Amino acid sequence: MPKKYETGLMWFRRDLRVHDNAALYHALKSCKQLYCVFVFDRRILDTLPRVDRRVEFIRESVLSLDGQLQKLGATTGSPGAGLLTAHDDAVNAVVRLAAELCADAVFTNHDDEPQLLSRDAAVQAALEAGGKAFHSFKDHVIFERQEVLTLAGKPYTVFTPYKNAWLKKVDDFYLRPYPVEKYGATLAPAPQGMRSIPSLDELGFEASNLSALKIPTGSEGGAQLFEDFTGRMAQYKETRDFPAVKGPSYLGVHLRFGTVSIRHMASVALSAADHPSEGAATWLSELIWRDFYAQILSNFPHAAERAFKPDYDAIEWESGEKAKALFQAWCDGRTGYPLVDAAMAQINQTGYMHNRLRMVTASFLVKDLGIDWRWGEHYFAEKLNDFDLSANNGGWQWAASTGCDAQPYFRIFNPVSQSEKFDAEGKFIRKYVPELAQLPDKALHSPWLAKPLELAAAGVVLGQNYPLPIVQHDEARALTLQRYAVVKKA
């Protein structure tokens, strides 16, 4: 079959792998020769703190991607293939490179975040004004946008019926990998002047503790983590809620930046779930949640800034200096509730937070402290290695009961009972709140109720080396019910 384009440009973004990459497959099939580029987008990078694990993860994964392209080119008769890079505003860089390389078309994978859709629209308009084509493909999820609809032809807004429809629709067609490797000979030798990958320093960033945390990067790192998880997947349902146990997949950052294929992940989980395996079925549900939140953001973009349920925008959150002080105590892990504080220490030190604890800390901020959920959402957006707008927003609105959730607003997590249930022996708390490490298990979850001798023996002085609770949960719960009363009939 004749190729449609003489020269193409593949623009990598949140899909940092060669294997099973939708846009790369279509680009290789459609072009006689193909260049590949990754843009370190100044419009995004310039808004970040100068030490950011995600930038380091991306850069390491870009290095891996370059090696994958070189290897594919070398094994398919295209020596000299590799990744071009630019450190610039992405719109300017892509349009400029397309012109310099005489590319007839640019290929990329969808990114449905509202701001990035605007960026892509600007790229497409500029390219088309110059007589060049712009093609974008689904790669980040199994089902996107309006692929899964109700019988009335509308997007789902509650998870369980969405999940049922998702499972009914999914088949081998949607999970089939794209055979990229068959078409590697299309890769063009990369112009040497465009090949160098900038250092962290050249990007304006300093090294983080990414390597000390031993977070594996690139496709190789993603494959390593997934191989490890497949051996534990059957136990996922029993282990996933306990932060001191190796239960999660830890693949969030790899799914976020596309160093693993969602089709491969879902295919393995679906196959294992059919055996049956409750663990695999439970993990598959987590992948479906990811699709669900992506399509919510796509179909209801107002949720990125406001409550999904508009009536909940009437809630009056705490404000002024009191709110700022409460929020800062939460950020710093100085609330006086050990599980909350340990979770905040985890995210601050590692950029990761266990999923159960994301719910606990979010519920505490919104429903114990009365703080606007958007404050917490923004904090997680800055700190999480695996930050994804749709999932982060969906999770926070779930915790705040402002989102697409069938549960009532009076679901309020008790931070003490959550601690006693999911970290009964205090292993997680002791790791991240070492000042409480010598307390006996029973006293660890609510140290303000500990006996004076227990506190003295453990070297804990409440109000000095560990804070007293900044709120009383029962009182806070009553205030929350009052606060939410304005929407109780919503």
Separation CA 202–CA 55 (nearest Å): 12
Q: Exactly one of 299, 348, 355, 414 is catalytic; name it.
A: 355
Separation CA 82–CA 189 (nearest Å): 7
Q: Is 448 a catalytic residue?
A: no
Q: Exactly one of 317, 382, 420, 435 is catalytic; name it.
A: 317
Find tokens 């693949």 and name the residue.
251
Q: Is 355 a catalytic residue?
A: yes
| Continuous H helices in 354-414 | 355-363, 373-383, 389-400
Q: Is 11 a catalytic residue?
A: no
Within 10 angstroms of residue 129's Cβ, the number of other Cβ atoms is 9
Among candidates 185, 243, 202, which has minimal Cα distance to 421?
A: 243
Q: Rounded to 5 degrees, what are φ and ψ at 87?
A: -120, 95
Q: Exactly one of 373, 375, 385, 392 is catalytic; name it.
A: 373
3-state secondary structure (DSSP) of residue 210 = coil
Question: Whole-angstrom distance between the N-terminal and C-terminal Cα of the chain?
Answer: 57
Q: Is 435 a catalytic residue?
A: no
Among candidates 19, 18, 17, 20, which has minimal Cα distance to 178?
A: 20
- What are 96's two structure tokens? 């400029």
Q: Exactly one of 11, 166, 330, 396 is catalytic; name it.
A: 396
Residues 12 and 65: beta-carbon distance below 8 Å? yes
Q: In what order do the strands lie in the sheet with 31-41?
A: 83-88, 31-41, 5-12, 105-109, 133-137
Cβ neighbors of 172 (< 8 A, separation 6 or more) are: none
Q: Exactly one of 286, 382, 420, 454 is catalytic; name it.
A: 286
The CA-based angle 292-361-329, given to 5 degrees, is 140
Residues 264 and 444: beta-carbon distance below 8 Å? no
Q: Exactly one of 289, 299, 435, 448 is catalytic; name it.
A: 289
Active site residues: 286, 289, 317, 355, 373, 396
